[in-house]
Structures are given as structure tokens and as C-alpha cells.
């Protein structure tokens, strides 16, 4: 059985790479049917992923023994690096998430990207990305994970900048690539610290080494290594202060946003942190919890004042990722991974629904020959519920899920996270109140701005009647993924019991429990978690419904004037923080970008004026002068005096000697006899 699962995982890993190669080589020959090739290949990986899920989760009953098969790659006297595949319950669930979202995005894109001049190349890049993401999921070592980590960065760069003829898209792809490199450098340094301390890159062996006392007496070093590795997650999962790339990355096609910025790429950082969770120290986990809490709250506040439908979802993604990171920091690693899975479903659904709306707006504006109206601005929408019922109901279900409403998946996962946050506060108090307030505050704000999006887009009167007339529901290749993802956003998919702790659903049951953690007393934590569950659940319900109610008063019932409140709130500093995104981009512009560009300008001038013109050019000029002198010396003395003089001398003697050539044989005989006589006399003298 292990060999069958291993073979299936190899196919899951390499089939998307095959799709990438085939799209770049033979796809053109298939004509209009070329998109069926990547769709069928990714569909095959989905089937194989469900096969592994069935054997690991369904048949394993939570007792599946992990499969680890590796082979040596680099072996020296001082270094041994292997590449291998690690399959456990977490791997099997994550493979299903990646394969499912990837397949639905492929299907959705067949209609959304139809007519694009780089249609085949788009699917090639999707295949490369899926291959990279599967590699991260299956990697058994930090080294192998890092290789695919960088490949994910490359493929995301290609997808974000897919429409590179637009300056905004090109700049967004470069911003994403370079920002992620900052986190990746930290991750690499942390990996090397762990390797030199434990002698291995293998994640499970590092966990065992830490448990065996590899860092005894040097826990600060372990803290430093853990935080440096976590820096990779800060970049990939868009956590403060490296979150700035993700909102700009919405310049890519909307299906790309659903794939890499909602469900898979940004989840890679959380997935990696789940893997390294057992060897993170208490200090490292505290920093992680604080970063996650601040990110969740900050991004939620920024989302309130966004009018671009994709921008709202982008900051929502940052906020929800902050939730997951916060959960890891407080010890709720199962809740973090659970929210990763539920978030993948409802956030992918939200992005694809927004794509459906944008697609309909584009077509309507095209019919009207309107090139000025922004199809992504919610101020240009309104009343679309009747025109796009499938998109509306799918988006409503996903919104209820992300808001933490009972009977939906987000309620289950958020409940676990907030219970962990409350338990963490009860255990340590003090500064941890920041995490508590951020957790529940972000839940309230999320419910508010997500229903704001629903009300502004689908309810009320149309903002523009002409645009409204030409709006219609998206075709089936676009609506089918919406239906699938909205169903997967229901709580019943994970448990029939709406109470997360009493449910004992398959998800919680299937994950192995981490008993040894470097930074937390897990037994004490579990007791606190059980006590905190019901207070956390009731509080989360209250804040969620308060957020929905407040949003309804503003945007549905119109009991509170948005314009009046906005004019009053402009004088409030917090409102401006939201509008200007906490001035983080401005700070980076003034503190990092401008000084760096100034320094580049100074060094450029120094290089040109001092080094290039003064030093290099001076050497060049002296070389030219020397060349002139040597040329004159060569021509005037060596060429004319020596070479030409020798020629003239030879020519003179040749002229004289030619007279000795008389042509009379007697003269030649006499000369020969004289020569013999002279030689004889010479030898006689000797």
C-alpha cells in the first residue's frame, strides 16, 4: 500500500509539470481544444489526491502511520542532503486543497481568459505554479521545501505580471518577487542554523533533535532560528511588515488571485509554520502571535474603506492569514490549519464570485463602448442580485462563512482560534490582552466590511441603469466552480454537529496531536482551551452579528448616512489610517525607497565622475598616448630605419653579387677549385 501511495504522490507532483511543458510545446497543434489538456491533467491530480485522502483519512481513522521515502542527493564528508516525500494526514488534506482549487481555477479560466492572446501560456504558468505548490506540501525537509518555495515565487511572479504590458501589473509582479525575497533570505539563514546545530534538514529529525536536547543551553539560538525560518512565512503569507505586496498583486487575472492569493500560495507560509510548530520556543511563538494579531486587525481596518471589490478581498485575505498565524502563536495549531482549509474554500469562492461580477461588468461596458468606468469599483454596481443569482448566493454563503456565522465552515474554525486566544490570555495575561482584543476586534470588523461588499454589490438600486441593463449571469464554466466552493463552505462538510468541540468531526480527529512543543505546556493549554471554548464561542457570535447589524444599518436599511459619517470620520485619525493604509507604503517610500534611490544616484555619480571618467578614462587616455608614441617609434625607427634599411642593404649586395653570375662554366669551375684550395690551406693551418 505504501508503494501505491508513494507512486500516486509522485504523479501528483510531476503531472502539473508535464502540463507546463506540454502547453509550451505541443498545445498549439491542438487548436481550440488545447485547454482540455491542462484541465484533464490537473483533474487527474485531483482524483489521485482524493485517493490518498481516502486511504489516509477515511481508512486511517486518525491512526495512519506517516510515509517517508527519500533518496540521497548531495553527499560529502561534511554535508548530506536528501530529497524525499512525506505523507501524513496534514499532507493528504493539503494536497486535496491545492488540487481542488487548482482544478476549479483551470475550469473557471477556460471561460474567463477566453480570447486572451497568451491563453496557452497562461495555463502553462498555472501548471508550473501547481507543481511548485505540490512540492512544498510533499517535501520532507526544509531544504527541499525551500527549493519549491523559490519556484512558487517565480511562478507567482509570472502570473501576477501576466498582463505585463500594463505598468501596474509589471510593477506589482516585481514588488511581490522582491518583497518575498526578503523573507526568503531569513528563512534560508534559519535553515542553516538548524542544520549546523542538528546536522539535518529533515523536519521530523529536527523536531526529534530539539526534543532530545540539541539546543539545551542555547534556547535563544533556537528562538532566533525559528523566527528566521518564520520570516519566509511572513513574506509568503503577507504578514506585517511584508504584507505590502499582496494588495498590488490583484493586478493579475482574477482566477490567479483566487489560486495564489487566497487558497494556496499565501497558505504556504501557514502550512510551513504548522510543520515547524513543535520546535518553536515560547518566545518565538509569542512574537508570531503578536505579528498575526496586529496583521489581522490592521488589514481588517484597511478593508473598511476600500471600494475596489478585489482590494476588499485582498485585505480580507491578509487579515484571515493573520488569524491563522495568531492561532499558531497561541498554540491552536489545529485551529490554524483548520482555518487554512476552510478559508481556502470560501475565499477562493469570494474571489471567483468577484471575477464573475467583474466579467459581467466588463461585457456590459464593452457593449456601451465605455472605457472610463472602473468595472471593479463597487460604487458602480448595485442591484446585481436579480441579474446574477448564482453568483449572489455563492458569494453570500462564502460571506457568511468568513463572518463566522453558525452552520458555516468559518464558524467552526474561527471558534477554535478564538478559544485558543482566550485560553492563552487566561494563562499569561498582561500584554496578551492585545492578542485577545485584536482577535475579537478583527472578527467584528470582518463581518462589517464583508456584508458592506454584499450590500453595495448586489442590493439597492443600480448605480448606472445603462450598465445594469447589459448585466447577465456568467457562463457555466464560471458558475460551476462557484457552486462547488459555496457547498464546501458549509459547516456540514466538516461535521454534522454545529458545536465544534462536541462535534468530534473528521478534521480534528484525523490530525495527529502534537505532544511535545518546545515553547508550550500542551497539557495545560488543552485544559485552558476546553474552559475557554464556550465563552469564546458566545463572544464571537455576538461580535459577528453586531458587525452584520451595523453594516445593515449603513448599507441595507440606509438608517445611517454613509456620506455624513464619512465626512465626520475624516477628522478622526483612525479613519485616515484606514484610508491611507496606515501610511505603511508612504513610510516605505520615504524611509526605504527614496533614500535607497538617492544612494543609488550618489554611487552612480561617483562611479561615473570619479571612477569611470577620472580613473578608467584617465588610464584609457594614457594608453592612447603611449600607443601614439609606440606607433611613431615603430614606424619611424623600427620600420623605416631597421626593417627598410636591412631591405635596402640586402638589395645593394644583391645588385653587386648578380655580376658574379656570368653563366660561363669555366668561371664556375675556377671558383670551385679556388674554394677547394682555400679549404685545404685552412685545414693545414689547423
Q: 428-459, pLDDT tens digit by residue? A: 888 889 999 999 999 999 999 999 999 999 99
Distance CA 682, CA 686 (A): 6
Cis peptide before 523 (omega within 30 of 0): no
Burial (CB count within 10 angstroms: exposed 0-12, middle 13-18, buried 19+), residue 10:
middle
Q: What are residue 462's phi and psi, to 5 degrees?
A: -60, 135
Return the bridge partners of 490, or none.
Answer: 408
| CA-based torsion, 272, 273, 274, 279: positive or negative | positive
What pLDDT, on a 0 to 100 scale, did the predictor assign at position 82?
81
What pLDDT, on a 0 to 100 scale, did the predictor assign at position 686?
58
Burial (CB count within 10 angstroms: exposed 0-12, middle 13-18, buried 19+), residue 651:
exposed
Question: Which whole-number Å values give the CA distances from 404 to 490, 546, 637, in the listed order?
Answer: 11, 12, 96
CA 52 vs. chain centroid, Å, equals 26
What pLDDT, on a 0 to 100 scale, did the predictor assign at position 659?
61
Cβ(34)–Cβ(127) under 8 Å?
no
Q: Which of 547, 297, 577, 298 has the alpha carbon at shortest distance from 437?
A: 297
Neighbours of 575 (CB within 10 A): 17
Burial (CB count within 10 angstroms: exposed 0-12, middle 13-18, buried 19+), residue 146:
buried
Q: Which of 512, 506, 483 has the alpha carbon at shortest distance from 53?
A: 506
Cβ(524)–Cβ(427) under 8 Å?
yes
Cβ(107)–Cβ(480) under 8 Å?
yes
CA torsion angle for 604, 606, 611, 612 (degrees, to 10)?
Answer: 40
Burial (CB count within 10 angstroms: exposed 0-12, middle 13-18, buried 19+), residue 105:
buried
Instruction: Give the residues of the chain that fall short of pLDDT 70.
Output: 1, 32, 61-62, 262-263, 497-505, 509, 512-524, 634-635, 654-664, 666-668, 684-686
Neighbours of 451 (CB within 10 A): 24
DSSP per residue over 611-623, as a string?
Answer: IIIIIIHHHHHHH
Q: Which of 458, 456, 454, 446 has the alpha carbon at shortest distance from 304?
A: 446
DSSP per residue over 48-75, as a string?
Answer: HHHHHHIIIIITTTT-PPPEEEEEEEEE
Amino acid at each position: 500500500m505504501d508503494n501505491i501511495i508513494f507512486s500516486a504522490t509522485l504523479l501528483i507532483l510531476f503531472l502539473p509539470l508535464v502540463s507546463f511543458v506540454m502547453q509550451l510545446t505541443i498545445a498549439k497543434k491542438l487548436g481550440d481544444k488545447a485547454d482540455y489538456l491542462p484541465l484533464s491533467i490537473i483533474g487527474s491530480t485531483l482524483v489521485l489526491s482524493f485517493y490518498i485522502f481516502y486511504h489516509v483519512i477515511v481508512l486511517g481513522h486518525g491512526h495512519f502511520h506517516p510515509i517517508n521515502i527519500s533518496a540521497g542527493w548531495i553527499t560529502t564528508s561534511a554535508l548530506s542532503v536528501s530529497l524525499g516525500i512525506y505523507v501524513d494526514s496534514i499532507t493528504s488534506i493539503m494536497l486535496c486543497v491545492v488540487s481542488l482549487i487548482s482544478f476549479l481555477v483551470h475550469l473557471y479560466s477556460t471561460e474567463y481568459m477566453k480570447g486572451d492572446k497568451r491563453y496557452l501560456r497562461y495555463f502553462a504558468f498555472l501548471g508550473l505554479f501547481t507543481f511548485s505548490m505540490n512540492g512544498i506540501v510533499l517535501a520532507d525537509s526544509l531544504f527541499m521545501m525551500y527549493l519549491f518555495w523559490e519556484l512558487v515565487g517565480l511562478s507567482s511572479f509570472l502570473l501576477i505580471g501576466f498582463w505585463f504590458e500594463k505598468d501596474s501589473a509589471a510593477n506589482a509582479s516585481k514588488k511581490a518577487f522582491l518583497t518575498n525575497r526578503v523573507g526568503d533570505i531569513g528563512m534560508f539563514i534559519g535553515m542553516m542554523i538548524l542544520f549546523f546545530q542538528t546536522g539535518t534538514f529533515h523536519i521530523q529529525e529536527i523536531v526529534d533533535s530539539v526534543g532530545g536536547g540539541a539546543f539545551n543551553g542555547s534556547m535563544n539560538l533556537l528562538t532566533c532560528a525559528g523566527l528566521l525560518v518564520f520570516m519566509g512565512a511572513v513574506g509568503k503569507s503577507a504578514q506585517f511588515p511584508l504584507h505590502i505586496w499582496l494588495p498590488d498583486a490583484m493586478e493579475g487575472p482574477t482566477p490567479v488571485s483566487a489560486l495564489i492569493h487566497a487558497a494556496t500560495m499565501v497558505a504556504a507560509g501557514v502550512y510551513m509554520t504548522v510543520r515547524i510548530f513543535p520546535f518553536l520556543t515560547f518566545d518565538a511563538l509569542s512574537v508570531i502571535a503578536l505579528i498575526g494579531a496586529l496583521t489581522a486587525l490592521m488589514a481588517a481596518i484597511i478593508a473598511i474603506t476600500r471600494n475596489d471589490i478585489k482590494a476588499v478581498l485582498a485585505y480580507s485575505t491578509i487579515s484571515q492569514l493573520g488569524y491563522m498565524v495568531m492561532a499558531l502563536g497561541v498554540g491552536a495549531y489545529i485551529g490554524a490549519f483548520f482555518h487554512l482549509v476552510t478559508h481556502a474554500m470560501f475565499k477562493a469562492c469570494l474571489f471567483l464570485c468577484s471575477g464573475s461580477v467583474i466579467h459581467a461588468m466588463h461585457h456590459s461596458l464593452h457593449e456601451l463602448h465605455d472605457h472610463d468606468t472602473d468595472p471593479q469599483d463597487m460604487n458602480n454596481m448595485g442591484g446585481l442580485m436579480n441579474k446574477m443569482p448564482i453568483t449572489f448566493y455563492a458569494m453570500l454563503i462564502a460571506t457568511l462563512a468568513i463572518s463566522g456565522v453558525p452552520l458555516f465552515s468559518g464558524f467552526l474554525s474561527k471558534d477554535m482560534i478564538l478559544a485558543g486566544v482566550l485560553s492563552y490570555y487566561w494563562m499569561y495575561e498582561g500584554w496578551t490582552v492585545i492578542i485577545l482584543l485584536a482577535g475579537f476586534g478583527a472578527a467584528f470588523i470582518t463581518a462589517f466590511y464583508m456584508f458592506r461588499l454584499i450590500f453595495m454589490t448586489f442590493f439597492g438600486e443600480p448605480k448606472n441603469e445603462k450598465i445594469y441593463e447589459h448585466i447577465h449571469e456568467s457562463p457555466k464554466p464560471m458558475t460551476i466552480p462557484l457552486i462547488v466552493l459555496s457547498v464546501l463552505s458549509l459547516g456540514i462538510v466538516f461535521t454534522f454537529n454545529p458545536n465544534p468541540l462536541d462535534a468530534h468531526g473528521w478534521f480534528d480527529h484525523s490530525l495527529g496531536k502534537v505532544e511535545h512543543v518546545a515553547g508550550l505546556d500542551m497539557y495545560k493549554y488543552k485544559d485552558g482551551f476546553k474552559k475557554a471554548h464556550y465563552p469564546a464561542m458566545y463572544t464571537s457570535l455576538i461580535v459577528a452579528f453586531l458587525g452584520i447589524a451595523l453594516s445593515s444599518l449603513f448599507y441595507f436599511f440606509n438608517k445611517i448616512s454613509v456620506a455624513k459619517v464619512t465626512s465626520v470620520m475624516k477628522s478622526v485619525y483612525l479613519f485616515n489610517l484606514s484610508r491611507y493604509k496606515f501610511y505603511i507604503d508612504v513610510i516605505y517610500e520615504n524611509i526605504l525607497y527614496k533614500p535607497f534611490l538617492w544612494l543609488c544616484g550618489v554611487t552612480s555619480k561617483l562611479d561615473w565622475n570619479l571612477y569611470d571618467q577620472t580613473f578608467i578614462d584617465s588610464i584609457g587616455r594614457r594608453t592612447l598616448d603611449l600607443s601614439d608614441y609606440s606607433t611613431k617609434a615603430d614606424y619611424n625607427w623600427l620600420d623605416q630605419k631597421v626593417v627598410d634599411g636591412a631591405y635596402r642593404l640586402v638589395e645593394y649586395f644583391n645588385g653587386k653579387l648578380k655580376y658574379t653570375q656570368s653563366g660561363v662554366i669555366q668561371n664556375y669551375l675556377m671558383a670551385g677549385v679556388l674554394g677547394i684550395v682555400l679549404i685545404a690551406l685552412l685545414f693545414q693551418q689547423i
